[in-house]
């Protein structure tokens, strides 16, 4: 069989020969004693690209988000976020276990928040209540299907937050996808937030790492918390080099992933039994599977056996993500395999067996 076409996530990309060579040749030093030169170069570049004074490199986006929360909040504080966001849904509730914070949830339309939804969410200054300290936004929104938060909404929401004494944190794991989709520079998106988290291991194709960006003072504390969270890494240039290479080479090409995602979206719209739950703005495509076909997990299992890998995210929902390791031709092949499989199941000539994993 051919290599599987892996559409499970944009984190599945593998470093190319050119990236590996860049990694092999990077200069390193002890980044806990001082600053590793390659880590330093990466931190300077991402700080510049987001228009912030400083940045701190960390092993994961979970850590940059959690340390972002820690920088802004104290134990017992509350932060406002969208109910499907990564910080709330996919980080084990670490805001509670590690920092003693509570979330205040607002549910968006496929993750997209409207400014009016935030009105009245800040607790009164009263000793009965937790102190509302921070507002978090996710752009693009992962669980929302890669949706871009409309720029005007972001401007208004962050202005409201700052006018009311809140800090703002952007989970910009896929901020560069929002940049590619809108043409609005990262710096402009980031200007509305006090801190910004960026992942290098998603669409940028690096094997490891994320950065938290903000003021020098915030990043001084972020670096302290990073050590306490277990994220002080010594010759970390070895991994920062992959991130630096991704940032220098893989930002511009991201619109290709979005074009490929549109092929999947069109296929879903044109296939009986499949439905798009929302618009496809970037590189993530959600697909709802008719119960008449079977469960999402069963269909994902069947597609896997035919060389198309995807994730079942709900009882009837499958997620596909395009990235730099899948070509337009491979996406065409995947579309064909998906429509053929679904139509054979509906015609009764193929049976879905077993249940795959659900995420």
Q: Phi, psi (5° rounding) for residue 338?
A: -65, -50
Encoding tokens for residue 340? 């053929």
141: Cβ–Cβ under 8 A, 6 or more apart, which residues? Answer: 82, 84, 85, 108, 110, 111, 112, 147, 149
Nearer to ligand PLP, 42 or 267 (CB): 42
Residue of 168, 177, 210, 271 that binds ligand PLP (CB under 6 A): 210
Q: Which helix (H) or strand (E) holds 159?
A: helix 151-163
User: Would you say 22 and 29 are in contact if contact means Cβ atoms under 8 Å apart?
Assistant: no
Going through 139-234 in order, the beta strands assigned E by DSSP cover 167-172, 195-199, 210-214
Report in angstroms how near the CB of residue 346 gets to ligand PLP at its nearest: 33
Encoding tokens for residue 216? 């020098």
Of 92, 213, 89, 85, nearest to 149 (Cα)? 85
Interacting span for ligand PLP (CB under 6 A) from 21-29, 61-69, 92-100, 339-347: 61-69
Nearer to ligand PLP, 59 or 301 (CB): 59
Report in angstroms how near the CB of residue 25 gets to ligand PLP at its nearest: 25
Report in angstroms how near the CB of residue 171 gets to ligand PLP at its nearest: 5
109: Cβ–Cβ under 8 A, 6 or more apart, which residues? Answer: 278
CA angle 145, 146, 152 (to 5 degrees): 120
Beta bridge partners of 136: 169
Report in angstroms how near the CB of residue 139 gets to ligand PLP at its nearest: 9
Residue of 77, 138, 194, 302 that binds ligand PLP (CB under 6 A): 138
- b/e 157-170 (16+ beta carbons within 10 angstroms → b): bbebbeeeebbbbb
Interacting span for ligand PLP (CB under 6 A) from 56-64, 122-130, 181-189, 339-347: 56-64
| Torsion angle defined by CA atoms of residues 137, 142, 145 and 149, in that order, rounded to the nearest 10 degrees | 20
Nearer to ligand PLP, 7 or 274 (CB): 7
Any contact of residue 282 with ligand PLP (CB under 6 A)?
no
Any contact of residue 142 with ligand PLP (CB under 6 A)?
yes
Any contact of residue 110 with ligand PLP (CB under 6 A)?
no
Interacting span for ligand PLP (CB under 6 A) from 35-43, 54-62, 154-162, 347-355: 54-62
Any contact of residue 62 with ligand PLP (CB under 6 A)?
yes
Which residue number places its CB atom closest to ligand PLP?
61
What residues numbered 211-230 form the site for ligand PLP, per CB under 6 A? none
**Which DSSP string corresponds to 327-354?**
-HHHHHHHHHHHHHHHHHHHHTSS---S
Report in angstroms how near the CB of residue 162 gets to ligand PLP at its nearest: 23
Interacting span for ligand PLP (CB under 6 A) from 31-39, 60-68, 184-192, 231-239: 60-68
Nearer to ligand PLP, 195 or 271 (CB): 195
Nearer to ligand PLP, 87 or 338 (CB): 87
Q: How far is CA 34 from CA 73, 144, 258, in A?
A: 27, 40, 40
CA distance 255 to 261: 10
Report in angstroms how near the CB of residue 199 gets to ligand PLP at its nearest: 5
Nearer to ligand PLP, 139 or 271 (CB): 139
CA distance 121 to 70: 21
Report in angstroms how near the CB of residue 298 gets to ligand PLP at its nearest: 26
Any contact of residue 171 with ligand PLP (CB under 6 A)?
yes
Residue of 136, 199, 222, 345 that binds ligand PLP (CB under 6 A): 199
Size of the site for ligand PLP (CB under 6 A): 12
Interface with ligand PLP by CB under 6 A: which residues? 60-62, 65, 86, 138, 142, 171, 173, 199, 201, 210
């Amino acid at each position: 069989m051919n290599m599987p076409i892996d559409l499970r996530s944009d984190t599945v990309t593998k470093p190319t020969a050119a990236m590996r060579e860049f990694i092999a040749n990077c200069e390193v030093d002890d980044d806990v004693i001082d600053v590793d030169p390659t880590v330093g170069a990466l931190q300077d570049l991402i700080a510049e690209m987001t228009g912030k004074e400083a940045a701190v490199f960390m092993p994961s986006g979970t850590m940059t988000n959690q340390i972002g929360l820690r920088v802004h909040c104290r134990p017992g504080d509350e932060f406002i976020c969208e109910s499907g966001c990564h910080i709330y849904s996919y980080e084990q509730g670490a805001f509670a276990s590690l920092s003693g914070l509570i979330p205040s949830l607002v549910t968006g339309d496929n993750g997209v928040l409207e400014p009016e939804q935030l009105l009245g969410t800040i607790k009164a200054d009263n000793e009965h209540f937790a102190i509302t300290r921070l507002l978090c936004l996710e752009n693009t929104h992962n669980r929302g299907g890669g949706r871009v938060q409309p720029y005007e909404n972001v401007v208004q929401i962050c202005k409201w937050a700052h006018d009311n004494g809140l800090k703002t944190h952007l989970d910009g794991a896929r901020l560069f996808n929002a940049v590619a989709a809108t043409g609005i520079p990262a710096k402009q998106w980031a200007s509305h937030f006090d801190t910004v988290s960026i992942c290098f291991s998603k669409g940028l194709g690096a094997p490891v790492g994320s950065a938290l960006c903000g003021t020098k003072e915030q990043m001084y504390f972020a670096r302290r918390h990073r050590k306490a969270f277990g994220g002080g890494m010594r010759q970390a240039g070895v991994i920062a080099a992959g991130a630096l290479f991704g940032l220098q080479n893989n930002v511009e090409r991201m619109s290709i992933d979005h074009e490929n995602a549109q092929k999947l979206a069109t296929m879903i719209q044109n296939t009986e039994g499949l439905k798009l739950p929302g618009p496809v703005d970037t590189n993530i495509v959600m697909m709802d599977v008719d119960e008449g076909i079977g469960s999402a997990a069963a269909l994902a299992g069947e597609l896997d056996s035919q060389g198309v890998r995807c994730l079942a995210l709900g009882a009837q929902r499958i997620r596909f993500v395009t990235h730099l390791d899948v070509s337009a031709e491979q996406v065409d092949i995947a579309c064909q395999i998906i429509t053929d499989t679904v139509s054979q199941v509906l015609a009764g000539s193929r049976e879905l067996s077993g249940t795959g994993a659900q995420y």
